Amino acid sequence: MLQGARHVHMAALNAAAESSGINIEIHELRKAADLSQAKPDALVFPGGESTTMRLTGNDAASRLLPAIFDWIRTDPTRPVLGTCAGAILLCDPRDGGEPLIAAEIDRNAFGSQVDSFQSALKSSLLARDFPGVFIRAPRFTNVGDSSEVVATLGEEVVGVRFGNRLALTFHPELSNDNGFHQWLLETTKEVTA
């Protein structure tokens, strides 16, 4: 909850819960203690501005970012959805540890705000086309052997899955298809069963 498109993600999660029939409880995380209190089963890393997220999340008043990285690393099966800036943080945590998704990513690689665009993309994870919303989007520059490409825009890789962690360079929460949020809920259901 420190920055970015958080409320739209909550709406998308609620819509996905409704369509998949999976009951969810959403916890808003602002500081490290919120995470230990909430004990979530899965996590959404929203899009926004990764620089701001690094600053606010590493600030002594929050320390949410290191707590989240630690939470993810503690159990590699924990489902995580990172979108846009969230994908940047997963691929490039800059905390001295391993990337949380084995892929390299380049910030703002599609250009500035005026180069933001919408385009249908292909997703093997959902087995259908998906309405992609790209806002000052990053670009995957390298995908590790242990990662799977799950979404493409032409030749461009726009979605990478590393186990139960998913990094998307677009904003699925800003489209009317909640398939990726459903994937998160279904994966979480399997992991916690």
Contact positions toward ligand GLN, by CB under 6 A? 47-50, 84-85, 88, 107-108, 135-136
For residue 181, the minimal CB distance to ligand GLN (Å) is 17
Which residues share a beta bridge with 128? 123
Q: Which is nearer to ligand GLN, 9 or 136 (CB)?
A: 136
For residue 150, the minimal CB distance to ligand GLN (Å) is 19
- 91 is a catalytic site residue: no
Length of the chain: 193
Q: Which is nearer to ligand GLN, 24 or 57 (CB)?
A: 57
Radius of gyration for the chain, computed over Cα atoms and rounded to the nearest angstrom: 15
**DSSP per-residue string spanning 131-182:** EEEESS--EEEEE-TTSEEEEEETTEEEEEEETTEEEESS-GGGSS--HHHH
- The one-letter code for the residue type at 52 is T
CA-to-CA distance for 6 and 27, rounded, in angstroms? 11
For residue 3, the minimal CB distance to ligand GLN (Å) is 9
Contact status, residue 171 vs residue 188, Cβ threshold 8 Å: no
Q: Which of 7, 9, 27, 84 is catalytic?
A: 84
Q: Which of 98, 104, 156, 171 is catalytic?
A: 171
Q: Which of 173, 181, 186, 190 is catalytic?
A: 173
- 171 is a catalytic site residue: yes
- The one-letter code for the residue type at 11 is A
Q: Which is nearer to ligand GLN, 17 or 85 (CB)?
A: 85
- 28 is a catalytic site residue: no
Q: Which is nearer to ligand GLN, 20 or 108 (CB)?
A: 108
Q: Label the pairing between strands 103-106 and 139-143.
A: antiparallel
- The one-letter code for the residue type at 184 is L
For residue 88, the minimal CB distance to ligand GLN (Å) is 5
Catalytic positions, written as ranges: 84, 171, 173
